[in-house]
Every structure is written in C-alpha cells, then in structure tokens.
Structure 1
Amino acid sequence: MSQTKHRVLLTGANGFIGNHILAQLLSAGFSVRAIVRSQSKADSLLQTHSSAGHNLDFSIVPDITAHDAFTEAYQSEDPVDTVIHTASPFLYREVNNNHDLLDPAIKGTMEILKGAKNVPSIKRIIILSSIAAIMDYSETSPPGGRLWTDRDWNPVTWEETSQAEDYSTVYRASKTFSEKAAWEFMKEQKPHFDLVSLNPPMVYGPILHPISEVSQLNESNLRIWDLFINSSKGAELPPNGVYSYVDVRDIALAHVRAVLKPEVGNKRVIVGAGSVTSQEIADILRSEIPALAGRTPVGNLGENTLPINPYSVDIGPARDILGLEFLSKKATFVDLARQLLEIEKGNTGH
C-alpha cells in the first residue's frame, strides 16, 4: 500500500473507540468518511472534531444489517482505499435479547465485506474484533499460565449462545461469530482486498465524545466508575474480571498503523498493554488522586491478586508489525478517573 493520502471509510465513528480512531486518522492527515446512524450523530461528531474541515464527511446508515446497507456510503468522489469497521453493539443497557448483540455484529460485518467487493479502489478492510474471539473464558490455565495467540479461537457454539442467559457470553459469541464469518468470506470469495483483525482485551481510557452524566459511559469505563470511584475505601475490592487491557488511545493508534503497514495484511493482531489487577487500579487511583482516598476500595496495598497460573496474551505482532509502545497504567487510569470526576461535577471536559 502506498504512503499517499488515504481515504478511509469508518463505521462506528461516534462510539468510544471509533471517536479516538477518527481523531487519530484526522491527525495523521487522512480523509475520512464517517458512518453514523443519524444526522444528529453526525452533528455531534462535527462538534467533537471541529477542526477536521474538508477531511471529514459523513454517510448516514440507519441500519447496518440491511441488505446493501453501505452501497451509498461506498460511492465517493474521492475513492475509498481502506475500510475500518468498528460498529458493533456493546451497551448491555440497550439490549433486549440475544439477537440485539448477534445480528448487528455478524450481519453488519458481512454487509461491509459484500459491499466492498463492488469497490475496486478498496485495498484493505480492518475490523475491530476482540480478545473475546480468541479466549476460552471457561478454561482453567495450566501450570505456568496460558498464552493466548492469534491462532486461538473462542470455542463458543451457536447452541451455547442461544441458551445463554447473560449478555457477556452473547457479546463474546457475537465477536467470535462475526470475525469467523469475515475470515470465511475471505477464504471463499477471494476478494481484491485483504483483511486485518485487531483484537483488544478490555479497553479503558478517557472519552472524546460528550456525555452529560456517567450513566452514559461505555461498559468498560462504567465499570471503573461503579467499582473504583463511586464506592468507598472500606468496600470489598472488585474481582479482576478480564485483567488483560489496553488504553483506548493505543487501540486507536493500532488502527492507523494497520492502514499503513502492508505486512499486517491478512493477520489477526492482539492489541494489549498487559495485565492490570483490581488492586493495581485501586492503588494507582488512591495514590495519584487525593480526592479518591475515601471513595476507592483499599484492598491490600501492593498485593498481587492475579490467579496462581495467570493467562497472558501474545502482543509480539502488535509491537513488531505495528510498532506499538503502550501507555502506562498510570496514564490510562488516572486520565480516565480525572475525567470521570469532572463529568460527575457536570463538566464534560470537552
């Protein structure tokens, strides 16, 4: 792929991660057509990225699962050469049944790929997948721990998903099924473009899109608010949950690098900064932000709360191919926490 100015089609541009990707694409000088569901969302993005000028335009796609959903979006006077697909639901409060998570993830991905077959200028499609498509969350790590790599797949089945009663299981399945469908499409259709899958674990960090109250936060950042800020020092320390994580600014940069690096074509890349425990998050917040001394659980200062045989993820390709160096834990959680405190006061920080 050449180093000339790229024209990128970006779905999910108004989301938590999508907003950061858009900001970094514009900062890199790319021309971006952002896909949004409504004019009001386009107007909001214009306010957030007010200096974009002629490098940002929009296409409104109310339903990404509709047949030929992206036909008009692909019609651009300046040809699109790269597609970044991030649109996928991850707000449990907006989900009424399992298909609310499954259908947009799978059908939306397939519509993006099928539409791109009719656009000769497209050289690469980058999809935002997840570590959820790689890890088996029910597996007990063997002695010495378990390293998850790009060769691994979450073994979840349709039968398990249809019977699942918790949306976290269905979300993981949606990421698994949609990414598998994408790779199967590439194998069967052999299109003129290549495919890149970026697979982050938990994504934390400050938001770019304006919100009026903390209840409007994305799921991962809402977890930090609920369990570490809107709490008390005597509260029980939260369980670690998925302790592999990445800063949203780093996963955004990974997308920009994936546009530019020919050698990442047709690869899955895990984009993670490492592991972080609940104790580490609490220690960082209490140490760096005095206002949280009475609000953040104390736990046992400095204690290693990882399991005996912790899993880890292979971030070699993210470093070696994409050239990523990751932000510190302090930068991620302190920047986020300070922003959340401002939102609590009624200041969006924008």
Structure 2
Amino acid sequence: MAGELILLTGGSGHLGYRTLVEALSKGYKVRAAVRSDAKVAEIKAAKSTQPYIDQLSFILVPDITQEGAFDQAVQGVDYIVHLASPLGIPSDDDEANIIQPAIRGTLSILRSAMKESKIRRVVITSSIAAVAPATNGSTKPTQPYTADNVLPDPQGPYPNPFAAYAASKVLAHNRARDFIAKEKPNFTVINIMPTFVIGKNELATTPQAVVSGSNRIALAALLGSKQPQGPPGAACHVDDVAFVHIAALDPKIEGNQNFGLNYNGAKGIVWDDAIDIVKRHFPKEVESGIFPLDGSSPSVPAAFDASRTEEVFNFKQKNFEDMIVSLAGHYAAVSAKL
C-alpha cells in the first residue's frame, strides 16, 4: 500500500531507476541501496526524482554479494524490490565475476529478508534467460514457453559473456527456488522475467551511455551497425517492466509467482523495423545524420508467451514503435546537446 517502505536495489540502472520513480509516483517510500555516494548524487540530481525527494532515502551497500550485506538495509521495510545483478560484460573469469555475484546477491537479500518480520513480499528481477530453452544456434522458433518454464543448472565454461549472463540468471533463479522450498519464509516472492528492456534511460546523459545494455540492440540498425547474426526478436518497454515490478506488491496479487514481459505483437519483434519507425517520427534527425539508418540486425524468432501478465495486471504492453520512439527520442535529445 502507498506510504509503506520499499528497499530497492539497482536503482541507478536503466530499469532500476525507472522502477524507483514508478514506486515513488505510486506513493511508496523508497530506501535505495546503492554502491557509492556518487550513485546517491546521480539519482538525487535526476529530474524525475525531484517531486519525490521527501519520500526517498539511501543506504550504502558496497558489495551485495557479502553475507549479511543487507541486514541493516532491510530493517523496518515492508517490501523488497531487488533489481541489482551483474551484466554480461567481457570478463577474464565468468564464474567469479558474473555467475557467483548473481547467485550470492540474490541469496544474500533473501537471507537478510528472513531477519525482518515486517517484510511481506520480495520482487526479484530475473530474465527471459532464466527460462528460455536452448536453441543451440537454430534460427527456428522454439515451442512456446512461459515464465514458469524450469531449466536445469547450466555448466560452464561459457562461449561468450552473454552465455555466462544467461547461465547466471538460470542459476540465481534456481537457487532462489531452492531457498523458498527449504526455508519457507513468511514473505512471498515474485519473479519478473523481461525480455530485452527497451526505452529511455534518464540517467544516460551521453550518446555513449544511451547506447548500452539492451538499448544497444534496438539502436544497432539505426546507427549503422551491421550484425551478421541478430539476437532473439523479443523486447518490452522499460515503463511496462517498471509498472509490473511495483504493481506486483499489491496483496491482491497472489505471491510466489513468475511474470514474463514480452511484446507479442502480430509478428513479434523485428529489429530492423526500427528504421521505418525512425523515418516516420524523426525525419529531421535522419536528415542531419544523427540516425544514419544504414545498419541491420537480423531477428531470431522468439516464442516467449507473456500474455498472462497482461491478464493478471489488467494492462496492455506498449508496442515496438513505442519502445523505439522513447529510445530514439532520448538519443536524439542527448546528441543535440553536444
């Protein structure tokens, strides 16, 4: 209920900041767990934070993988929204830098939550990667699956950072499931499993920062990147993912469920459709060269069915055009300031 206190992790990230603002706008108080004072300053200075400064507080948690890292942070909170997790970036040790931090970060916050009797629900940001069947390089769509799909534990070594990231999501999700089955906590857990999250990242204030994370995939064809093999054609709007994270705190939503987010339009997501969308909405920026539109990114069909999330939360997910307009508009605005 509005006015209650949420502990939110990962609040300086693309999805994390948008979720933080969503929580504040719904009347919740938020205690944001961040790694440094620099992150505090970044969040406090952002325009969307300003109307809600009085509802927002911070606590420093430099290393979320440490046992007991969140023991102080959870004191007195009613809910936890856990978005913080390692990204799939190049690493000389995937196990140490991607796999274990994802697992330990999730278990650390669940164990700390057990020590605060007020907590009624923990919402965890997972990923389609936690439930997506392996394609083994095939470009043919898999059989339809949902957020309730269960995968066996993967085994390394991993061929690339994205494979390590996907494995970290499977392992973190499976260990959380094990934790709930064994510990039987008083709180319930909701797992949110988005596909590629696309849309404006308010905290990205340079073109280089905008072209990062999932947004890099959506911008590829617009900025001249030619990809010989594209990623799955699966995406969701950052606003929708933030909305579901906070709406999932409603006690009317039954606990211990998984909810996927993926725009399943008439033909799914075709990444190169972004070119025609930008031609329609940003003709001046195309003419000026901000968007060269000479790239390509083939789309691998995806079969992730997230329609149940729309039914449970009574909303319609924004379409691919909405995603591209949000993202391209922000990229153009940031580029124009140079």
CA pair 217-168 structure 1, distance change in 2 beyond 3 A: same
Letter of the 1:23 counterpart: V
Contact 1:214-1:344 within 8 A present in 2 as well: no
CA pair 35-272 structure 1, distance change in 2 beyond 3 A: same
Match of 1:335 in 2: 326
1:84 aligns with 2:81: yes
What are the ranges of 5 or more consecutive residues in structure 1 without an aligned counterpart? Answer: 300-304
TM normalised by structure 2 equals 0.89
Match of 2:38 in 1: 40
Per-residue deviation at 1:323?
Answer: 2.0
1:14 aligns with 2:17: no
Match of 1:297 in 2: 294
SS of 1:100's partner is: helix
CA pair 142-246 structure 1, distance change in 2 beyond 3 A: closer
Tell me whether 82-91 or 207-216 shows the greater mean CA deviation.
207-216
SS of 1:118's partner is: coil
1:182 aligns with 2:176: yes
Match of 1:50 in 2: 50
Match of 1:101 in 2: 98
Per-residue CA deviations over 1:228-275 (Å, capped at 9, x if unaligned) read 2321xxx75764412111001110001111011433310011111222
SS of 2:272's partner is: helix
Per-residue deviation at 1:326?
Answer: 1.2
Match of 2:215 in 1: 221
Letter of the 1:326 counterpart: Q
CA pair 216-287 structure 1, distance change in 2 beyond 3 A: closer
Match of 1:302 in 2: none
Per-residue deviation at 1:339?
Answer: 1.1
Give the alignment partner of residue 187 of structure 2, picking from 190, 193, 200: 193
Measured in 2, the distance between the counterparts of 1:346 and 1:212 equals 9
Match of 1:268 in 2: 258
Measured in 2, the distance between the counterparts of 1:38 and 1:325 equals 37
Match of 2:119 in 1: 122
Per-residue CA deviations over 1:185-215 (Å, capped at 9, x if unaligned) read 0000001101100000111100121433414
Identity among equivalent positions (%) equals 26
SS of 1:195's partner is: strand
CA pair 12-197 structure 1, distance change in 2 beyond 3 A: same
1:287 aligns with 2:287: no
Match of 2:130 in 1: 133
Letter of the 2:273 counterpart: E
1:259 aligns with 2:249: yes
Per-residue deviation at 1:17?
Answer: 0.4
Contact 2:79-2:249 within 8 A present in 1 as well: yes
Contact 2:78-2:119 within 8 A present in 1 as well: yes
Letter of the 1:31 counterpart: K
Measured in 1, the distance between the counterparts of 2:334 and 2:110 equals 38
CA pair 283-106 structure 1, distance change in 2 beyond 3 A: same
SS of 1:321's partner is: helix
Q: What is the alpha-carbon root mean square deviation over aligned residues? A: 2.5
CA pair 278-198 structure 1, distance change in 2 beyond 3 A: same
Contact 1:205-1:336 within 8 A present in 2 as well: yes
1:311 aligns with 2:308: no
Measured in 2, the distance between the counterparts of 1:143 and 1:333 equals 25
Measured in 2, the distance between the counterparts of 1:152 and 1:180 equals 11
Letter of the 1:10 counterpart: L
CA pair 153-288 structure 1, distance change in 2 beyond 3 A: same
TM normalised by structure 1 equals 0.86
Contact 2:221-2:272 within 8 A present in 1 as well: no
SS of 2:249's partner is: helix
Number of residue pairs matched by the alignment: 328
Measured in 2, the distance between the counterparts of 1:91 and 1:173 equals 10
Runs of 4+ in 1 over 6 A off after TM superposition: 140-144
Measured in 1, the distance between the counterparts of 2:276 and 2:228 equals 13
Per-residue CA deviations over 1:7-49 (Å, capped at 9, x if unaligned) read 1100001111000000110000100000100111111111111
Contact 1:131-1:200 within 8 A present in 2 as well: yes
SS of 1:313's partner is: coil
Per-residue CA deviations over 1:140-194 (Å, capped at 9, x if unaligned) read 8899862111331344522xx2x11300000000111111111110000001101
Measured in 1, the distance between the counterparts of 2:315 and 2:193 equals 14
Per-residue CA deviations over 1:106-143 (Å, capped at 9, x if unaligned) read 10000000001010000000000000001023258899
Contact 2:2-2:27 within 8 A present in 1 as well: no
